Structure 1
């Protein structure tokens, strides 16, 4: 049987891998379309400024 310390190390490593994979997947989905979103936000800000005439 494994010692308690090795079991804890394996469990912590698996949890870290799971959290890391979830964070990686979410950040890749979020970061890839970010430049397009930034451009659209800048365009909207410019349009708002033009509509207000300032």
Structure 2
């Protein structure tokens, strides 16, 4: 049911990664890791408290 939304999310991070790679061609491994940690950290902010409780319960 969420296939299209998931594909859009992955496409967005791929576009952001391409932009990051172009802007920071010689980025250190720690900088690359920080990019993905930052992206992963955004997911926790996308849920309302009620949604988080509902997902936790299911």
TM-score of the superposed pair, with normalisation by structure 1: 0.45
Hey, which of these two has a bigger chunk of helix by percent? 1
Greater RCO, CA 8 A, separation 6+: 2
